[in-house]
Every structure is written in C-alpha cells, then in structure tokens.
Amino acid sequence: MPQGAIIALIIIGVLLGIAIIIFVSNIKVMGQTEKGIIERLGAYHTTWGTGIHIKVPFIDKVAYRIDMKEQVRDFPPQSVITRDNVTMQIDTIVFYQVTDPKLFAYGVQNPNQAIEYLSATTLRNLIGDLDLDSTLTSRDLINEKMRRILDEATDPWGIKVTRVEVKNILPPKDIREAMERQMRAEREKREKVLLAEGQKQSAILIAEGNKESMILNAEAEKESTIRRAEGEAQKLLNIKQAEAEGIRLTRQAEADGIRMIKEAGADKSVLTIKGYEALEKVADGNATKIFMPNNLAQIGSVASAIAETVREKKE
C-alpha cells in the first residue's frame, strides 16, 4: 500500500476518533430532579428535562444545572432592634423550591445570597414593629409574615418559598437574666397560690366532713330518742293491756263463779254468806265509810247457824 494511502487512513482514523469523542462528550444526561438550561451562542435556547440529550458541539452549552428539590438555607444570626429598643440576635431557616428554571437562572445574580439578604431586611422590618415580649411570643406570626413577604419577592426569580422558621432568639445577657428572675418569681408565685388553694380546699373538706359528722350524729341521736320513746310507749301499752287483761280475767272468773253457783243450785243462805264474805273484804280495806245492807241481822243469824253447823261436824 502506498505511503500516502496509509497516511490518509491514519488521518481519517484520527478524525473519526476525534468526532466520536466530540459526539460522546456532547451527550448529556439529566437526573430525576435536575433541569438543564441550554444556551446557544450565548443566548438562552431551551430547558432540558430528565433523560438523555445531545447538544450541538461548539454551539450549544449547558449553562446551568438546576436542582428542583426543595432546598434549605440556614442563615447566620441577624442583629435586630425591637420597638422598645432591645437589641437581639435572630437566625432563621428558609425552605424554598425552584418552580421556573429559566427565571431562576436569569432572574437574579445569586439567588441564595439574594434570599439571605431579603430575609435579613424583612426580619428587621418585622421585629422593628414588635416589642420584646411580642417578639418572644409571636414566632408563628413572624414566620407566616416572612414567608408571605419572601414568597412575593422571590416569585419573579422562579422561586417558591414554602416555609420560614425562626430558629433562635437571643436577647442580651442582662435581659435573659431579668427574664430568668421573672420566671422564677412567677413559678414561686404559682407555687404559693397552689399551696394556698390546697390548704383552702383541705380546710373546706375538713369543715364539710365535720358538718356531715355532726348531721349524722344528730340524726343518730334523733333516731335513738324516737326509738326510746317508741319503746316506752310500747311498754306502757303492754302494761295497760296486761292490766286490762287481768281485769277481764278477774271479771271472767267472777262471772264463771257466779254461773257455777247458780248451776249448782245454791239457795239464798249461800248467797247471803257470799255477801257476808264480800262485806268482810270491804271491812278489811281502808275505806272510811261502810254501807251496811238492810238485812244485816238476817245475815248474822244465818252466819251463826252456819257456824253452829260447822262445830257440830267437827265434834
């Protein structure tokens, strides 16, 4: 093979290798969360999404690779002054996400630095309208206002501010010491109040317990008195009933005796003797007056006859 042909083949091979290298070097792959900003001859040309792309050599250029994930920026503490002239240090965290790659690439010189400066100025303006106590207790309000203001300001840059958090609020040392003293005083006050409330509640419970005890004792005494009275009344009733029953039995026995005497055919003399016995019982009493029957003499004669008859039987 002539030497010229060999040289030509070598040149062609070299050129082909260079072409392959150039071609391969112009193959670009965009990741899942990446966007590529392509410039052609220095001007914006297109935006690449996820996948494999081939750019024109020496004409197209991947000017920016933009991450589309939500990003977090923790900015250093900023010195701010409250409405009541208290200087403190506040640092914030900003969460944002790129929504338009083209605006993000060409909207501002340095987006992260721009957000930091904008966050610092916005924070100073907000804190300047609040006093110390409001600043310490209004974090949610500060976060929401900053998020809204930053979102509106960064919208032309293709950025969406999703969240803003006040990370730390550091008042001066003397203010912190005063706050700690105040906090201790408040805790001691709450402790005393709770102790007093506990003592008051304890006294109330003791008084209520004593009251309930007195009421129960009074009710028990009342019930006991009622029971005793009922017992006495029942006792008297039983006595009365017993007396009435005794009288009834006595009357019944007397009636039965008279009935039996009548049934036995007792004559007038026997009845006269019974009358005499009754008279004897009356005479044994304590009565001061005795009424004598009209037939006393007759009763005496009958009694003498009965006595005589008894003696004869004994003899």
**Mean pLDDT of the 2-11 span:** 77
**Confidence band of 302 (pLDDT split at 50, 70, 90):** very low
**Confidence band of 257 (pLDDT split at 50, 70, 90):** low
106 with 45: CB under 8 angstroms? no
pLDDT 10s digits, 206-245: 888 888 888 888 888 888 888 888 888 888 888 888 888 8
What pLDDT is attached to residue 16?
A: 87
pLDDT 10s digits, 8-47: 778 888 888 888 888 888 888 888 889 999 998 888 999 9
Q: Structure tokens of 251?
A: 């009357």
150 with 164: CB under 8 angstroms? yes
* Residue 64 predicted with pLDDT over 60: yes
Q: Structure tokens of 258?
A: 């008279």
- Mean pLDDT in the chain? 80
Q: Structure tokens of 295?
A: 């037939």
What pLDDT is attached to residue 219?
A: 86
Distance, CA of 169 to CA of 180 (rounded, Å)? 15
For residue 59, report the phi and psi dihedrals to the nearest 5 degrees: -115, -50
**Mean pLDDT of the 194-203 span:** 87
Distance, CA of 40 to CA of 61 (rounded, Å)? 6
Which pTM does this prediction carry? 0.54
* Residue 287 predicted with pLDDT over 60: no
* Residue 311 predicted with pLDDT over 80: no
* Residue 5 predicted with pLDDT over 90: no
What pLDDT is attached to residue 275?
A: 55
What pLDDT is attached to residue 128?
A: 87
Side-chain half-sphere of 53: how many Cα atoms within 13 Å? 21
- The residues pairing with 46 across neighbouring beta strands, listed in sequence order, are 38
Distance, CA of 61 to CA of 44 (rounded, Å)? 10
Residues 6+ apart with CB under 8 A from 114: 108, 154, 157
The packing angle between helices 268-284 and 296-314, to 10°, is: 100
* Residue 304 predicted with pLDDT over 60: no
Instruction: Between 183 and 100, name the one with better pLDDT.
Output: 100
What pLDDT is attached to residue 232?
A: 84
Distance, CA of 53 to CA of 71 (rounded, Å)? 26
76 with 54: CB under 8 angstroms? no
* Residue 150 predicted with pLDDT over 90: yes
DSSP β-ladder status, 60-67 and 87-98: unpaired
Distance, CA of 225 to CA of 211 (rounded, Å)? 21
What pLDDT is attached to residue 310?
A: 43
* Residue 262 predicted with pLDDT over 90: no
For residue 83, report the phi and psi dihedrals to the nearest 5 degrees: -65, -30
Instruction: Between 53 and 292, name the one with better pLDDT.
Output: 53
How far CA 315 is from CA of 26, 33, 115, 154, in Å, comes to 179, 159, 160, 160
- The residue written with tokens 């004409």 in the block is 59
